[in-house]
Structure 1
Amino acid sequence: MAAPKMVDIRQLNPQQLSEVNQRLETEISVLNNCHAELVGVKKKFITSREAVSELEGCEGADVMVPLTGSLYVRGKFAEETQLIVDIGTQFYVEKTPKEAIEFFDRKIKYVEENMEKIMPQMMQKNQSRNLVESEIVQKMKAAKLAKPSK
């Protein structure tokens, strides 16, 4: 796959600059959506990890187990609680609370690493967009100055 060709934006006309700006806006939007999705996933893993942490010492405690969004049954925690953890794509695995916490810690770290990979891309795209917008403004000013007065 060939590397993207670098173009001096000062050589582009206003229409081309506008197209580049639109492309950058689209790419920034996609990156922002990815980042927002990762933030949501991270919150889900943090919430799950906290819920597991709160189970410590709850052996024999009464709980309400949701069957649907509005239907619950009474339950009790067993001494040796095995949790059923959604590990992705509708796969569930039994884990001890310690294993579940370790799983969520790994997932949180993985999501954070991906968020760190996206941030430089977002910053670079925003800088590029700012340069293109600045060049558009300069070209428009130059075009106004070049027009003959009536």
Structure 2
Amino acid sequence: MYVPGNLHDVQHVLIDVGTGYYVEKTVGEARDFFKRKVEFLTKQIEKVQPALQEKYTMKQAVNEMLNQKIQQLAAVNISQTGTVKA
């Protein structure tokens, strides 16, 4: 949605600092705040990424084992009954 508007004070802005709180800062202070925020989030992503990759690898291994077990059970079921059951 687009709503036209005019800024009364272009030297000060409100920034969302989290959990619904807003702080009035100058444009320069706001720029510095967001620069620090981006750096912090980038560091957090770098910390979490190796754990995420490990979890993904573990998930793939579990999926492969489950598929093998399902195939084994299907093969046993076919050999015992001679038909395929869903």
TM-score, shorter chain, exceeding 0.5: yes
Alignment equivalent of 2:43, drawn from 113, 133, 146: 113
**Cα displacement string for residues 81-123 of structure 1 (whole angstroms, at most 9, x for unaligned residues):** 1223222223222322221111001111122222223322322
Alignment equivalent of 1:99, drawn from 11, 17, 29: 29
Structure 1 CA distance for aligned equivalents of residues 38 and 64 of structure 2: 39
Identity %: 26
Structure 2 CA distance for aligned equivalents of residues 75 and 149 of structure 1: 78
After superposition, the Cα gap between the structure-2 partners of 1:90 and 1:130, relative to the gap in structure 1 and judged at 3 Å, is: closer
Which residue identity is paired with 1:111?
L
In structure 1, the residue matched to 2:70 is: 140
User: Unpaired runs of 5+ in structure 2?
Assistant: none
Which residue identity is paired with 1:89?
T
**Cα displacement string for residues 31-76 of structure 1 (whole angstroms, at most 9, x for unaligned residues):** xxxxxxxxxxxxxxxxxxxxxxxxxxxxxxxxxxxxxx66655445
Is residue 83 of structure 1 aligned with residue 17 of structure 2? no
Which residue identity is paired with 1:136?
L
Instruction: State the structure with more CA Rg.
Output: 2
**Runs in 1 of length 4+ with deviation above 6 angstroms?**
none
The number of equivalent residue pairs is: 80
The two structures have a TM-score, normalised by structure 2, of: 0.62
Instruction: Work out which structure has the larger RCO, using CA pairs closer than 8 Å and 6 or more positions apart in sequence.
Output: 1
User: Unpaired runs of 5+ in structure 1?
Assistant: 1-68
Superposition RMSD in Å: 3.0
After superposition, the Cα gap between the structure-2 partners of 1:74 and 1:141, relative to the gap in structure 1 and judged at 3 Å, is: closer
